[in-house]
Amino acid sequence: MLDRAPQETQDETRPRPVAFRGAGFTPSAGRYSGWIALALVIAFWQLAGSAGWVNALFLPPPSAIVAAIYKLALSGALWQHLSWSVMRIGSGWILGTIAGVIVGFGIGLSTLARGVGITFISALFPIPKIALLPLLILWLGIGEEPKIATIALGVFFSTAISVYSGVDAVPRNLIRMAQSFNVPFHLIVRRVIWPGALPSILAGFRITASVALLLVVSAEMIGAQYGIGAFVLQAGNLMQTDQLLAGVVILSVFGLVVGKGINLLEARLLHWR
Amino acid sequence: MTGFARLALASLLAIAASGIARADDALKAKIGVLRLSSSAPVFIAQDKGYFREAGLDIELKFFDAAQPIAVATTSGDVDFGVTAFTAGLYNLAGKGTLKVIGGMSREKAGYPLIGYFASNNAYAAGLKTPKDLAGKRIAVTQVGSSFHYSLGLLADKYGFKLADIKVLPLQSLSNAAAALKGETVDAALLPVSTARTLIDSDGAKLLGWVGDETPWQLGAVFASPKALTNNALVTKLLGALVRADREYHDVILASVKDGKAAINDKTKPLLEIIAKYTILPVEQVVGNCAYIDPDGKLDVKNVANQISWLQEQGFVDKGFGVDAIIAKEYVKAD
């Protein structure tokens, strides 16, 4: 008995090799998987078009879209459209972001601003900006102002919301510690709250950059002669479906470029993470 | 035995005959239209039973813009469409997805449809006639629309370049009206129905009517390729429409004076039909009567001109002419 018992326990307590399980979920963007999936979808799309499974009018094949973009680039109109849209998106986004960051910090830091600001944001954010187009035309005319204002308005609300939730999410104990060390208010904002809120502010930028791209189409409904949005609208009005999709592809490439830009910005500003 | 065989044959024939007869009196079709008086004959033919008498079972599908009707005809959601020519319609027709089978509304002198309107400031500064529109900022709904083409015709008539005009596409009639009222454009081309409230509230000034300056073929009846294969259906439909065209022309258009139809015992029943389908009071319908040829003729020469103008502007794909989009066997040319 005595001889056997330790042997049994030894058997049970013998270290069993267990694979490391606690790796967490860390999806990392694969280098190729995204591109391969994209290429497969495009190849299938082209096949459907070339084989005549779908009418080219209802879904132009990728080759027709590429041809439309090439023609557009060759005529020089592409650069004209792009430069006008970049100007509108850029200035609208910058104006909306500056105002949004200021208001967002106000809401995050002051009781009065919080009460007033959240009420107004909740009341005004859900208004569809397109419904206001006739009014925007009456107020601001049909020059660049209403177009930039449309984009800036869309960007402003999302930015303000993401900034104040970012400020709210900064750990209170860090702020309390700074306060007990008698750090002045502006330094707390700059050294503690700003870096703490930055991750969610940058996440907000990612959304607002897309919002600006979405809104450029409705902004350019207002008497624009050039611009990617105006080009897409015109192609839709004229039932030139290949050009319509060409405009859409340009917009989404633009979105990819902006996304990459924000990645770079995150890598630089958030290197401490 | 032979008696039985005869009986069987006779009953078979009877069944076949009744089948044909049933198919014959139930030729079903859908027509896509706008709730505008420029489609008046369609409403008259439907309401007074002309389609039914011709052996057709017609369902009207209402749309809120011209372009979707052309798209719906292409996709087969409607068999026929009655609406204005647009660049989008020509682009679809050029790909063979629909064909024109008859004429509908026209811009014609004495029958106000689309007008040139000046903002109050521009009017005060000397914009008094359509000729003065050269070099001005003018709002239209969309590039390649009826309004844009009307401007092109005006430029040809008075010998100025369309490029001298700043054409501003504002996407909707309400946007164009707002821009005109807000003095951010010098002028706009608007249909009489949209402009009436502006003029009544003194928000803009009328410069003239497109029909008086440059008459042209505004609207048409067109059919999907599937409907075109059914000869009996198309012939009967056009027959019923021409009957209504003739009645509309002889009763309502004949009474038009100073751009307004008279309201009397003869015109009242027809005006009430139009009012019912356009959801407008009769008093507004009378000032909004599009000219329609009594024989349903199409101004083929003008259609050819529209196509080549739109192709020159780059709004319509090159490589087809008027012959490619017209079903010659049905169209009566002007």
Q: pLDDT digits over B187-238, tens only?
A: 999 998 888 888 888 889 999 999 999 999 999 999 999 999 999 999 999 9
Q: Is the pLDDT of residue A27 over 80?
A: no
Determine contact: B197 vs chain A, CB below 8 A. Answer: no
Residue B103 has a pLDDT of 94
Average pLDDT estimate for A138-158: 90
Distance from CA of B1 to the nearest CA of A (A): 55
Chain B neighbors of A224, CB-CB under 8 A: 169
The closest of B323, B329, B333 to B94, measured between CA atoms, is B323
Beta-bridge partners for B107? B216
Contact status, residue B96 vs residue B326, Cβ threshold 8 Å: no
In the structure, what pLDDT confidence band is assigned to residue A225 with cuts at 50, 70 and 90?
confident
Residue A58 phi/psi, 5-degree rounding, is -80, -35
Average pLDDT estimate for B268-290: 91
Q: Compute the distance between CA of residue B96 and CA of residue B223 in angstroms, rounded to an integer.
A: 11
Q: Is the pLDDT of residue A12 over 90?
A: no
Q: Is the pLDDT of residue A29 over 80?
A: no
Distance from CA of A220 to the nearest CA of B (A): 9
Determine contact: A141 vs chain B, CB below 8 A. Answer: yes
Contact status, residue B60 vs residue B183, Cβ threshold 8 Å: no
Distance from CA of B88 to the nearest CA of A (A): 4
Average pLDDT estimate for A165-170: 93
Residue A82 has a pLDDT of 93
Q: Compute the distance between CA of residue A61 and CA of residue A241 in angstroms, rounded to an integer.
A: 10
Chain B neighbors of A237, CB-CB under 8 A: 67, 86-88, 142-145
Determine contact: A67 vs chain B, CB below 8 A. Answer: no
Nearest residue in B to A236, CA atom: B88
Q: Is the pLDDT of residue B333 over 50?
A: yes
Chain A neighbors of B167, CB-CB under 8 A: 225
Q: Is the pLDDT of residue A85 over 90?
A: yes
Residue B4 has a pLDDT of 59
Distance from CA of B4 to the nearest CA of A (A): 52
Contact status, residue B296 vs residue B243, Cβ threshold 8 Å: no
Pairing of strands B99-103, B137-140: unpaired
CB contact under 8 A, B144 and A233: no
Q: Compute the distance between CA of residue A128 and CA of residue A153 in angstroms, rounded to an integer.
A: 11
Residue A212 has a pLDDT of 93
Range of weakest confidence among A83-87, A174-178, B169-173, B273-277: B169-173
Task: Identify which of A58, A141, A221 has the shortest CB distance to residue B171.
Answer: A221
- Which residues, 6+ apart, have CB-to-CB distance to B262 below 8 Å? B255, B256, B286
Average pLDDT estimate for B77-81: 94
Q: Compute the distance between CA of residue B223 and CA of residue B225 in angstroms, rounded to an integer.
A: 7
Q: Is the pLDDT of residue B290 over 80?
A: yes
Residue B19 has a pLDDT of 46
Pairing of strands B137-140, B187-191: parallel
Residue B143 has a pLDDT of 86
Determine contact: B143 vs chain A, CB below 8 A. Answer: yes
Q: Is the pLDDT of residue B21 over 50?
A: no
CB contact under 8 A, B178 and A222: no
Q: pLDDT digits over B82-108, tens only?
A: 999 989 899 999 988 899 999 999 999
Q: pLDDT digits over A241-262, tens only?
A: 889 999 999 999 999 899 899 9
Residue A1 has a pLDDT of 47
Task: Give the mean pLDDT of chain B.
Answer: 89
In the structure, what pLDDT confidence band is assigned to residue A137 with cuts at 50, 70 and 90?
confident
Q: Is the pLDDT of residue B1 over 70?
A: no
Q: pLDDT digits over A31-60, tens only?
A: 788 889 989 999 999 998 888 888 777 888
